[in-house]
Amino acid sequence: MLTMSDNDIWTLYEHPLNERVRVLLRLEHLFRQMLHFHQGSSPWDSRMMITTLFDVLNLFSRADLKTEIIKEVERANNSFAALIENPHVDTSRLSTVLKALRHITNNLHAMTGQIGQSLRDNPFLTSIRQRSSIPGGTCEFDLPSYHLWLQHPLEIRHRDQGAWLKELEPINQAVELLLKLIRNSSEITPCRADNGQYQQSLESDRPYQLIRVFLPQHIDYFPEVSGSRHRFTIRFIGIKGEGPISHAQPTSFRLAICML
């Protein structure tokens, strides 16, 4: 949710238009979930932090993921570097962005091997991961070493969790910055969908990356977005009774179509 200038509270829905942004959004979701549970104090928070860590490692099993993220960072760097000579650009802000992109690029290149390899090689985490695919497979009688670790004081668990997170921090920083730049690349404009459906054509030679739909918090319907490089469609769906139904009424919303 977010608050916009008219003092209404809005709910945001996002839809990626290419595979790179799809992966970035999934990583952002998992990193935020992992950090949320890392800040918790109970053994159940630690369990969920580790479970989410395994989800992140599963995404990193794609051998080309680090290369894809580096390419996206370098593409963003080239896009912003091209603005240096533009007299209408805030050079101070542009310099800050370029500095952040260079810093992240250097950190990513400094990561050797596959992302998270030392976490995969960690015997303690490996023992938990092997049992995690079994329903209830991490019970105390299955993994007494895990049960013992969960009983450790909070500062010990946080120390270990912090060390695991530190190895992934360059990726987390890259994801956060890239998505911030993409989201800030477009103005948010008011739109209206007749009969609960909205369609817009896109210029096929422009690399659109993300659609953002804003709806007032109090409404009881959501956007279903389908899109490609040529066009996208938004259908508004309500939830009543046993399932979703089309919201076939004029609908006001706000829209941003983002790209670097």
pTM score, whole prediction? 0.90
Pair (38, 157) in one structural domain? yes
Pair (165, 221) in one structural domain? no
End residue of a domain, out of 168, 183, 198: 183
First CA to last CA distance, the chain: 24
Pair (48, 175) in one structural domain? yes
CB-neighbour burial class of residue 38 (10 A; exposed 0-12, middle 13-18, buried 19+): buried
Q: List the CATH number of the domain containing 253.
A: 2.60.440.10
Note the pLDDT of residue 85: 81
How many Cα atoms occupy the beta-carbon half-sphere of 157 within 13 Å? 23
Which contacts of 118-123 are long-range, i.e. CB under 8 A and separated by 24 or more positions? 118/167, 119/53, 119/57, 119/164, 119/167, 119/168, 120/57, 122/164
Joined tokens for residue 76: 């963003």
Pair (199, 158) in one structural domain? no
Note the pLDDT of residue 239: 81
β-bridge pairing 231-240 and 243-246: antiparallel
Q: List the CATH number of the domain containing 45.
A: 1.10.3900.10
Note the pLDDT of residue 5: 55
**Is residue 116 left, alpha or beta, with left meaning phi > 0 and alpha meaning psi from -120 to 50?**
left
Host H or E run for residue 225: strand 221-227
Q: Pick the closest to residue 190 from 248, 256, 238, 244 (CA basis).
A: 256
74 is a domain residue: yes
Q: What is the mean pLDDT of residues 65-76?
A: 90
121 is a domain residue: yes
Give 63's pLDDT tier (boundaries 50, 70, 90).
Answer: low
Q: Which structural domain range is residue 77 located in?
A: 20-183
Pair (201, 174) in one structural domain? no
Q: What is the mean pLDDT of residues 156-183?
A: 96
Kindly tell me if the per-residue pLDDT of 3 is higher than 60. Answer: no
Q: Pick the closest to residue 210 from 22, 10, 2 (CA basis).
A: 22
Pair (197, 239) in one structural domain? yes
Joined tokens for residue 110: 């400094």
Note the pLDDT of residue 127: 96
Judge whether 47 and 139 are in contact, CB under 8 Å.
no
Q: What is the mean pLDDT of residues 42-68?
A: 91
9 is a domain residue: no
Give 196's pLDDT tier (boundaries 50, 70, 90).
Answer: confident
The full length of the chain comes to 260
Judge whether 257 and 208 are in contact, CB under 8 Å.
yes
Work out the number of other CB atoms within 10 angstroms of the CB of residue 162. 11
Pair (43, 126) in one structural domain? yes
Count of domains in the chain? 2
47 is a domain residue: yes
